[in-house]
């Protein structure tokens, strides 16, 4: 579980039983507590340089009340984001949230989970009899803070009773034992973000190893959850076919004893925005990420900003390689998308 260096509370958060519980929990571990006026504007996180500010932000927990009445869309993985948490303690150099979370990407949790789920129910009822999908990790990894909020457990139980609602989230982290015996009713898909061994070593700092993630995925499969894997961001480099092939073969071998009932894959190629590149270089000046715009194709994304993606012929190589591998190793699995 994530242990912050410091924590901030909105005053309204202490009006909720969960807020009081989290406050007591943090005080028992002697975490310094500060009251802040808004969970969106937090002052008092140290850091004079970009890298100091980033790393201190990653060690900070902010507890608040979510007041917004709308959910963002979440293509291609779901219809809507389900905003349970923001940010995560991992320090992945390539993270797309470099663009959106600011210079101090603190972890934010909400104490009014019931209000958030009530809004999700409104969206479900609006779209009935179609099934509505919600993504719980669009701007976060929700596992590291689950020990404080219990939000995932409550959400999984909620969706287990909703015939027209489905929930999904992705994680790199492994503290999932509290989720194993929940009445999920196959309505929640838990996915794990994986990458080749060299990519994890170079770029995914302060995250569990590949082997630990796969062991955790085996537990999820044994608990009869629909299981998914996001392979990404996919990089093209000298040994990329060999290393990604080894990753999928290892995954195939490890899942033999606990074959999942519903298995899905999502493949996401590396892309970056100009703003993200600037932020990455400020925080990780010695990064080995491939950030040369002249080697990429410029493309506008769904939110209107431009990004640099692999060229069409390179994307075709990625699509062909991973499609063939999945068809061979996991013939019953579904490929949700390759982008």
Rounded mean pLDDT, 220-243: 97
Q: Which residues of 252-277 are buried (b: 16+ CB within 10 A; e: fewer)?
A: eeebeeeebeebbbbbbbbbbbeebb
pLDDT tens for 290-337 read 999 999 999 886 666 789 999 999 999 999 999 999 999 999 999 999
pLDDT at 164 over 90: yes
pLDDT at 301: 67
Q: Which residues pair with 169 in a beta bridge?
A: 190
Whether cis (ω within 30° of 0) applies to the bond prior to 76 is yes
**Do residues 157 and 193 lie in contact, with contact meaning Cβ atoms separated by under 8 Å?**
no
**Do residues 81 and 27 lie in contact, with contact meaning Cβ atoms separated by under 8 Å?**
no
- Find tokens 């802040």 and name the residue: 36
Distance between CA 82 and CA 163 in Å, rounded? 17
**Do residues 309 and 235 lie in contact, with contact meaning Cβ atoms separated by under 8 Å?**
no
Q: Within 13 Å of residue 331, how many CA atoms lie on the same side as its CB? A: 1
Q: How far is CA 138 from CA 40, 75, 99, 236, 287, in A?
A: 17, 10, 13, 24, 24
pLDDT at 47 over 80: yes
pLDDT at 240 over 90: yes
Band the pLDDT of 249: cuts 50, 70, 90: very high
Helix or strand holding residue 324 (H, E): helix 312-329
Distance between CA 307 and CA 319 in Å, rounded? 19
Rounded mean pLDDT, 8-29: 97
Compute and round to an integer the Cα radius of gyration of the chain.
20
- Find tokens 């019931």 and name the residue: 114
Q: Which residues pair with 228 in a beta bridge?
A: 191, 264
Alpha helices in 112-222 (DSSP H): 113-127, 146-149, 151-160, 197-203, 210-222
pLDDT tens for 251-286 read 999 998 888 879 999 999 999 999 899 999 999 999
Token output for 296: 């990429």
pLDDT at 101: 84
Query: What proportion of the chain, given as a percentage, has pLDDT over 90?
Result: 88
pLDDT at 115: 97
Band the pLDDT of 97: cuts 50, 70, 90: confident
Token output for 135: 């993504």
Distance between CA 61 and CA 248 in Å, rounded? 35
3-state secondary structure of 220: helix
pLDDT tens for 190-231 read 999 999 999 999 999 999 999 999 999 999 999 999 999 999
Domain boundaries, given as residue ranges, for the chain? 186-270+310-339
Band the pLDDT of 40: cuts 50, 70, 90: confident
Token output for 73: 């869309």
Q: Do the bridges between strand 204-205 and strand 91-92 make them parallel or antiparallel, or are there none, so unpaired?
A: antiparallel
Rounded mean pLDDT, 36-63: 91
pLDDT at 72: 93
| Sheet with strand 188-194: strands edge to edge | 73-74, 78-81, 132-135, 165-171, 188-194, 227-234, 263-269, 334-338
As a whole number, the mean pLDDT across the chain is 94
- Find tokens 């797309």 and name the residue: 96
pLDDT tens for 123-141 read 999 999 999 999 999 999 9
Distance between CA 295 and CA 172 in Å, rounded? 29
- Evaluated on CA atoms 202, 203, 207, 210, the torsion sign reads negative
Higher pLDDT, 38 or 242: 242
Architecture of domain 186-270+310-339: Alpha-Beta Horseshoe (3.80)
């Amino acid at each position: 579980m994530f242990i912050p260096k410091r924590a901030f509370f909105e005053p309204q958060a202490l009006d909720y039983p969960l807020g009081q519980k989290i406050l007591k929990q943090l005080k028992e571990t002697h975490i310094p507590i500060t009251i802040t006026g808004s969970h969106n504007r937090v002052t008092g996180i140290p850091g004079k340089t970009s890298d100091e500010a980033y790393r201190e932000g990653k060690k900070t927990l902010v507890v608040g009340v979510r007041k917004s009445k709308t959910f963002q869309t979440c293509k291609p993985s779901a219809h809507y984001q389900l905003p349970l948490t923001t940010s995560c303690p991992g320090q992945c150099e390539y993270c797309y949230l470099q663009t959106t979370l600011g210079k101090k990407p603190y972890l934010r949790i909400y104490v009014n989970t019931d209000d958030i789920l009530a809004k999700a129910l409104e969206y479900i009822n609006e779209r009935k009899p179609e099934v509505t999908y919600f993504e719980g990790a669009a701007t976060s990894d929700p596992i590291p803070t689950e020990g404080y909020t219990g939000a995932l457990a409550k959400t999984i139980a909620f969706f287990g009773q909703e015939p027209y609602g489905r929930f999904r989230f992705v994680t790199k982290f492994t503290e999932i034992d509290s989720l194993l015996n929940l009445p999920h009713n196959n309505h929640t898909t838990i996915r794990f973000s994986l990458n080749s061994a060299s990519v994890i070593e170079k770029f995914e700092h302060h995250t569990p190893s590949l082997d630990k993630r796969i062991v955790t995925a085996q537990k999820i499969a044994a608990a009869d959850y629909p299981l998914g894997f996001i392979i990404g961001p996919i990089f093209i480099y000298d040994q990329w076919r060999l290393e990604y092939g080894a990753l999928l073969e290892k995954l195939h071998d490890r899942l033999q004893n606990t074959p999942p009932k519903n298995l899905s894959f999502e493949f996401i190629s590396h892309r970056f925005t100009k703003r993200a590149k600037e932020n990455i270089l400020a925080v990780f000046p010695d990064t080995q990420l491939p950030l040369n715009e002249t080697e990429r194709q410029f493309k506008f994304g769904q939110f209107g900003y431009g990004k640099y993606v692999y060229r069409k012929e390179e994307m075709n190589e990625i699509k062909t390689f991973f499609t063939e591998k999945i068809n061979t190793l996991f013939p019953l699995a579904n490929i949700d998308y390759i982008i």
